[in-house]
Amino acid sequence: MNSGDAWVEGPNGERFWGRFGAAGLLVHDRLRGILLQHRADWSHFGGTWGLPGGARHADESAVDGALREAHEEADVPADAVNVLFTSVLDLGYWSYTTVVAEAVRPFEPRMADVESIELRWVPVGSVTELPLHPGFAQSWPELRARLVGLDD
Protein backbone atom coordinates (compact mmCIF):
# COMPACT_ATOMS: atom_id res chain seq x y z
CA MET A 1 0.00 0.00 0.00
CA ASN A 2 1.30 3.44 -0.92
CA SER A 3 1.94 5.59 2.14
CA GLY A 4 0.32 9.00 2.20
CA ASP A 5 2.98 10.47 4.51
CA ALA A 6 3.46 13.86 2.90
CA TRP A 7 2.22 17.43 3.24
CA VAL A 8 -0.53 18.86 1.08
CA GLU A 9 -0.50 22.62 0.62
CA GLY A 10 -3.73 24.49 0.18
CA PRO A 11 -4.28 27.52 -2.06
CA ASN A 12 -3.71 29.92 0.87
CA GLY A 13 -0.48 28.19 1.96
CA GLU A 14 -1.96 26.15 4.82
CA ARG A 15 -0.38 22.72 5.13
CA PHE A 16 -2.22 19.50 5.91
CA TRP A 17 -0.71 16.09 6.64
CA GLY A 18 -1.69 13.22 4.36
CA ARG A 19 -1.32 13.07 0.60
CA PHE A 20 -4.54 11.01 0.39
CA GLY A 21 -6.24 12.79 3.28
CA ALA A 22 -6.15 11.84 6.93
CA ALA A 23 -8.35 10.16 9.50
CA GLY A 24 -8.56 9.92 13.26
CA LEU A 25 -10.38 7.69 15.71
CA LEU A 26 -12.56 9.16 18.43
CA VAL A 27 -13.16 6.35 20.91
CA HIS A 28 -15.90 6.82 23.47
CA ASP A 29 -16.00 4.59 26.54
CA ARG A 30 -19.23 5.16 28.46
CA LEU A 31 -17.42 4.81 31.79
CA ARG A 32 -14.11 6.56 31.05
CA GLY A 33 -14.89 9.14 28.38
CA ILE A 34 -12.97 10.01 25.22
CA LEU A 35 -9.51 8.65 24.41
CA LEU A 36 -7.26 11.63 23.71
CA GLN A 37 -3.65 11.86 22.60
CA HIS A 38 -1.28 14.57 23.85
CA ARG A 39 0.64 15.22 20.65
CA ALA A 40 4.45 15.19 20.64
CA ASP A 41 5.97 18.68 20.63
CA TRP A 42 7.68 18.12 17.26
CA SER A 43 4.41 17.20 15.51
CA HIS A 44 2.04 19.58 13.68
CA PHE A 45 0.28 21.56 16.45
CA GLY A 46 2.51 19.73 18.94
CA GLY A 47 1.62 19.97 22.60
CA THR A 48 -2.10 19.99 21.89
CA TRP A 49 -4.60 17.21 22.56
CA GLY A 50 -6.39 15.41 19.77
CA LEU A 51 -7.27 12.03 18.38
CA PRO A 52 -4.96 9.20 17.43
CA GLY A 53 -4.81 9.36 13.66
CA GLY A 54 -2.84 10.39 10.65
CA ALA A 55 -2.29 10.10 6.93
CA ARG A 56 -4.32 7.61 4.94
CA HIS A 57 -2.65 5.27 2.48
CA ALA A 58 -3.62 5.22 -1.19
CA ASP A 59 -6.89 3.33 -1.67
CA GLU A 60 -7.39 3.02 2.12
CA SER A 61 -10.83 3.83 3.47
CA ALA A 62 -11.10 6.45 6.18
CA VAL A 63 -12.34 3.85 8.66
CA ASP A 64 -9.44 1.50 7.89
CA GLY A 65 -6.97 4.38 8.08
CA ALA A 66 -8.30 5.61 11.42
CA LEU A 67 -8.25 2.11 12.92
CA ARG A 68 -4.72 1.48 11.61
CA GLU A 69 -3.38 4.80 12.88
CA ALA A 70 -5.05 4.39 16.31
CA HIS A 71 -3.46 0.96 16.61
CA GLU A 72 -0.04 2.28 15.53
CA GLU A 73 -0.13 5.26 17.89
CA ALA A 74 -2.19 4.09 20.87
CA ASP A 75 -2.40 0.30 20.53
CA VAL A 76 -6.20 0.49 20.14
CA PRO A 77 -7.40 -3.01 19.26
CA ALA A 78 -9.79 -2.89 16.29
CA ASP A 79 -11.95 -5.60 17.87
CA ALA A 80 -12.47 -3.44 20.98
CA VAL A 81 -14.39 -0.73 19.14
CA ASN A 82 -17.59 -0.48 17.14
CA VAL A 83 -17.81 2.31 14.55
CA LEU A 84 -20.86 4.52 15.11
CA PHE A 85 -20.49 7.22 12.44
CA THR A 86 -18.01 9.34 10.53
CA SER A 87 -17.70 13.10 10.13
CA VAL A 88 -15.81 14.51 7.14
CA LEU A 89 -14.10 17.86 6.69
CA ASP A 90 -13.65 18.09 2.91
CA LEU A 91 -11.64 21.05 1.63
CA GLY A 92 -11.73 19.85 -1.97
CA TYR A 93 -7.99 19.24 -2.18
CA TRP A 94 -7.67 17.48 1.21
CA SER A 95 -10.02 15.81 3.68
CA TYR A 96 -10.02 14.67 7.28
CA THR A 97 -12.43 12.02 8.50
CA THR A 98 -13.22 11.60 12.16
CA VAL A 99 -14.29 8.02 12.78
CA VAL A 100 -16.40 7.89 15.94
CA ALA A 101 -16.53 4.56 17.72
CA GLU A 102 -17.68 3.15 21.02
CA ALA A 103 -15.52 0.88 23.14
CA VAL A 104 -17.27 -2.49 23.24
CA ARG A 105 -14.81 -3.94 25.73
CA PRO A 106 -12.28 -2.38 28.09
CA PHE A 107 -8.74 -1.82 26.86
CA GLU A 108 -5.81 0.26 28.01
CA PRO A 109 -4.24 2.51 25.42
CA ARG A 110 -0.47 2.35 25.23
CA MET A 111 1.91 4.79 23.60
CA ALA A 112 3.02 2.59 20.74
CA ASP A 113 5.19 5.15 18.91
CA VAL A 114 6.90 8.51 19.46
CA GLU A 115 3.94 10.66 18.36
CA SER A 116 2.41 10.91 21.84
CA ILE A 117 3.42 12.57 25.07
CA GLU A 118 0.49 10.96 26.85
CA LEU A 119 -2.74 9.08 26.21
CA ARG A 120 -5.68 9.69 28.50
CA TRP A 121 -9.36 8.87 28.92
CA VAL A 122 -11.05 12.25 29.39
CA PRO A 123 -14.64 12.65 30.61
CA VAL A 124 -16.84 14.07 27.83
CA GLY A 125 -17.56 17.20 29.87
CA SER A 126 -13.86 17.87 30.47
CA VAL A 127 -12.53 17.63 26.91
CA THR A 128 -12.53 21.41 26.35
CA GLU A 129 -10.49 21.98 29.52
CA LEU A 130 -7.42 20.77 27.62
CA PRO A 131 -5.51 22.73 24.95
CA LEU A 132 -7.01 21.03 21.90
CA HIS A 133 -5.63 20.64 18.38
CA PRO A 134 -7.37 23.48 16.47
CA GLY A 135 -9.12 21.13 14.03
CA PHE A 136 -10.40 18.92 16.82
CA ALA A 137 -11.46 21.96 18.87
CA GLN A 138 -13.51 23.21 15.93
CA SER A 139 -15.21 19.87 15.31
CA TRP A 140 -15.72 18.79 18.96
CA PRO A 141 -19.05 20.61 19.62
CA GLU A 142 -20.77 18.89 16.68
CA LEU A 143 -19.11 15.53 17.40
CA ARG A 144 -20.14 15.76 21.05
CA ALA A 145 -23.73 16.63 20.14
CA ARG A 146 -23.97 13.69 17.75
CA LEU A 147 -22.38 11.35 20.28
CA VAL A 148 -24.62 12.46 23.14
CA GLY A 149 -27.64 12.32 20.78
CA LEU A 150 -27.08 8.57 20.38
CA ASP A 151 -27.89 8.12 24.08
CA ASP A 152 -31.29 9.86 23.76
pLDDT in tens, the chain (152 residues): 678 888 999 999 999 888 999 999 999 999 999 999 998 878 878 899 999 999 999 999 999 999 999 999 999 999 999 999 999 999 999 999 999 999 999 999 999 888 889 999 999 999 999 999 999 999 999 999 999 877 65
Q: Which residues of 28-42 are buried (b: 16+ CB within 10 A; e: fewer)?
A: bbeeebbbbbbbbee
Q: Which helix (H) or strand (E) holds 132?
A: none
- d(C-alpha 71, C-alpha 116), whole Å: 13
- d(C-alpha 114, C-alpha 8), whole Å: 22
Q: Which helix (H) or strand (E) holds 1?
A: none
- d(C-alpha 65, C-alpha 86), whole Å: 12
Q: What is the pTM of this model?
A: 0.92
Is 3.30.470.10 the CATH classification of the domain at 7-146?
A: no
